Amino acid sequence: MRWALLSALVSLALAQDELGGRLGAASSSSASALSSDVPTISASASASSAASSIPATITSAPSISEPVPSSSAASTESSVLSSAASSVLSTASASSASESSAASSTLTTAAPTSTNPATTTRILPIPVSETTFQPFPVPSDVPVPDLYPSTDPRNPPDAGSTLIPDFGPAWASAHEKARNKISNFTLEEKVSIATGVGWMNGRCVGNIPAIEPVTGRGWPGLCLEDSPLGVRFGDYVTAFPAGINAASTFNRGLIRQRGLFMGREHVGKGVNIQLGPMMNMGRIAQGGRNWEGFGADPYLTGESAYETILGMQEGGVQGCAKHLVNNEQEHRRTQESSEVDDRTEHEIYTHPFLRSVMAGVASMMCSYNLINGTFACENERIMNDIIKFEYGFQGFIMSDWQATESTISAMTGLDMTMPGDVTFDSGDSYFGGNLTAFVNNGTIPEARVDDMATRILASWYFLHQDNSSFPSVNFDAFLPDNETTNEHIDVQDDHFKLVRQMGAASTVLLKNKGVLPLTGKNTPRSLVLIGSDAGPGRAGPNQFADQGGSDGILAMGWGSGTANFTYLITPLEAIQHRARKDRTSISWLLDDFDLPRAGNMAIKKSAALVFVNSDSGEGYITVDGNEGDRKNLTAWHGGDNLILSVAAQNNNTIVVVHSVGPLIVEPWIDHPNVTAVLWAGIPGQEAGNSLVDVLYGAWNPSGRLPYTIAKQAEDYSAQLVTGGQGQDILNIPYNEGLMIDYRHFDANDIEPRFEFGFGLSYTNFTSDGKFAKAWENGTPSPNVEGGSRALWLHRPAFKVTFDLKNSGPVFGGDIPQLYVNFPASSGEPPSVLRGFTNVEVSPGKTENVELTLSRYDLSVWDTEAQGWKLPKGTIGVTVGRSSRDGRLKGKVPLDTD
């Protein structure tokens, strides 16, 4: 693609699931709010074992969930609480003794490299004492027509709209209904709303019990079900592309539609709460669950989460933003403390949760890890100060499965414990009877239990799930063959069409020496497909529980973030179907390790397609020594050697990669016979058809990388931290601060192999553009309830418009990306993503493109004022096709020096 710069410098006119918890201090300050009108701006294998099929080693509950051992402190406190918590004094001293013991044991900090020995950190105890409680206020926002309209979650603005939905009136109505409902409940009944029934004691992975009569004074309870890409454990469901592929499209419309269809399928099965989307950052390239999320940039992750939630909740299911927060690796996730400074927390890691609140998300899930020495599910700084106060969140926070650490966590912000028992099948709970006892003995005010129950019921009303037409649960997550509890309802509709389209739209063309698409002069007379990833597994697409193994095409990672495949189209199946149309001769070899035969079969073929992959997942499953996180960044099944063996014998070797994240491609990327590379990610059940659409030009490649592909693993700013033993708490310092992924590469002038946002096309584009001034003020935003989501901060402050012309020969799409260049004195990376859109243009035609920026987009977090502030100095803006492809440059003419 070619961009023509209009002027050199032009003015400018973010199992089931998981564990965690403890306490932090809040700071406050105030500042005056800003306001201004919006001016118009214009511009014309792990190298694997020798077996192709890799089975999994599953820790504890094999095919069902992610079992997580409770800490010794939790176990001790459990026994104390089970003794009935007879008095505040005795409970307090027992808990303190338990926590002091845990804190004084040998605990572990790890250096930010997988090779250095681990070091130790200390758990910060939460005191158990009498407390008071004042509920956070329900928003009193005033809707603004055509800018901030009153919005019902079932009827959100269109994808990519500049309208900012005001869910305040809908939340206020839902809270009023909830308060009225619980006014007739007993204390025990209110506590039951916050307490799961225990592991495998219901038909869903998480269950809140009903209060009888359900159609009178009571309610029907809740069904909570994974996952972020489909209905886990359900039959006749769609296996959607993973979150990482959704992000790769950079296409808000497709991301929204994916959320909508997933929401409808969950509702069709009777699910109240879909446990997703996942929005932890791809901070570590080897991170096991990166594929569930949306990549390595907070803006892209935030926008993907925003559109996904709007879609899910339009479909009628409650969204669940997870995992709150700093859960970026699987190794010792229940016994590691992520050490993160306040500015980095706000600008990188909690930003997607802010966008989730702005999307009206109904629930959140706190994570397994500690944050600065305090477990996430006990972390008052995160749950109360940031999420409920600063972000004005009106829904509820649940624990990850077995992540509740204490009864007193109810006072630090936790609203619901999942699955209810302290550990799976333990028969006791930190909430339930223990929470009731803490209220009765004066430790926890009943007003806080009222708040917990109100928040949970308000989310139910918010999504209109009190409607009599809402389906009852009609499947059984744990007994799928039980005909009494599984009605086998088909909820797939025609969602396969979106899966196929999104799979194509998320495929990134990394290299093309003119050999793709395989049409016209490139139509092959003969093709050979080489590699196990081209074909099916030996026992069908659901061969491994929770997809915890590697055999055949990789279309999904492993763990609780999965779904069963109703079917799976392989590349071999799809390419053979297309080959019949072109009368192409097809042959294949699905053995990854017979290198001589692979090379020989490639001789004299028009093209040789080599398929390689790399998998990862959740830590309760180990595959070929990969304990959730990947051991390295090399292709699995000896993929590098397979590519080189084929390329040695065929001068038109096309590489197809199905991977959960970045790989080091240096061994073969510059080989003269490797003529094209397609990065297909993990695209879901239509994987083969999606690939064929791109290979043969039915879809012009428009996917972009949601992360950086480095030349060597050491080039990334953060590495997987290993080590630790027994009850050690592994320390993970986030020393890179704001400099994750491409920001680190830019700041340190490190040349990547392929930068964030990179992707080629089959056509060319020409664009012209300029920018105009929008707003100017350097006062930090006020530290008030809901301050970080204030309308004045997020409304469009200025527009960026430019023309995009398709100067190539075929129809195609492009992804213009808008990057803000903060002054060096701000401490920001050289370039940060602040906008993107997808544009589809016919040959010879021109489209006018508009992007907007808000005051929030041009602000940094002021840790002293606890507000968002415009930094001093000149702010530049770059528009291009990737983080390093600035075709249009400009500056914001704000005099803040």
pLDDT in tens, 273-296: 999 999 999 999 999 999 999 999
Please name the amino acid found at residue 701.
Answer: P
Q: How is residue 530 written in tokens?
A: 């080489």
Give the C-alpha separation, 559 to 546, whole Å. Answer: 5
Per-residue pLDDT at 792: 81
Q: Within a 10 A sphere around the Cβ of 145, how many other Cβ atoms?
A: 8
Tell me phi and psi for residue 539, to 5 degrees. -135, 35
pLDDT digits (tens, 9 = 90+) for 178-236: 999 999 999 999 999 999 999 999 999 999 999 999 988 999 999 999 999 999 999 99
d(CA 547, CA 681): 16
Q: How many helices (H) and strands (E) does the chain have?
A: 19, 30
Indicate the helix (H) or strand (E) that contains 91.
Answer: helix 88-104
The residue ranges of DSSP E strands in 445-559, in sequence order, are 508-512, 526-530
For the chain, helix, strand, coil in percent to 5 are: 25, 20, 55
Distance, in Å, from the CA atom of 890 to the CA atom of 197, rounded to the nearest integer, reads 57
Could you tell me if 334 and 287 are in contact, meaning their C-beta atoms sit under 8 angstroms apart?
A: no
Q: Give the closest residue to 267 by CA, choosing from 55, 473, 505, 434.
A: 473
Instruction: Provide the annotated active-site residues.
Output: 400
Q: What angle do CA 379, 380, 383 make, to 5 degrees?
A: 85
Angle at CA of residue 343, ends 717 and 166, nearest 5°:
115
Contact of 700 with 810, CB cutoff 8 Å: yes
Give CA–CA dist 488/497, Å, rounded: 22
Q: Which two tokens stand for residue 193?
A: 């709303």
Cα Rg for the chain, rounded, in angstroms?
A: 26
Task: Determine the residue type at 93.
Answer: S
pLDDT of residue 510: 98
Which residues make Cβ contacts (< 8 Å) with residue 739, sequence separation at least 6?
717, 747, 748, 829
The token pair at 57 is: 């080693």
C-alpha–C-alpha distance, residues 737 and 730, integer Å:
19
Q: Give the whole-angstrom CA distance, residue 232 versus residue 476.
A: 10
Contact 393, 357 (CB under 8 A): yes
| Residue 213: cis peptide before it, omega within 30 degrees of 0 | yes
Mean pLDDT by 10 residues, the chain (897 residues): 28 30 29 29 31 48 32 31 28 29 32 47 70 80 90 95 94 97 97 98 98 93 98 98 98 97 98 98 98 98 98 98 97 96 98 98 98 97 97 97 97 97 95 96 96 98 97 96 95 98 98 96 97 97 96 98 98 97 97 98 98 98 96 97 98 98 98 98 98 96 97 97 90 96 96 96 64 43 79 82 82 88 92 90 86 90 90 89 85 62
Token readout for 430 is 């930190």
Bridge pairing between strands 10-11 and 886-892: parallel
The CA distance from 75 to 210, in Å, is 28
**Phi, psi of 591, deg, nearest 5:** -100, 120
Q: pTM of this prediction?
A: 0.86
Using the structure block, give the residue that is written with the tokens 């099965």. 269
Is 575 in contact with 535 (CB distance < 8 Å)? no
Phi, psi of 656, rounded to the nearest 5 degrees? -115, 125
In terms of residues, how long is the chain?
897
Compute the distance between CA of residue 499 and CA of residue 254 in angstroms, rounded to an integer: 10
**Contact between residue 671 and residue 511 where contact means Cβ atoms under 8 Å apart:** no
> So what's the pLDDT on residue 132?
80
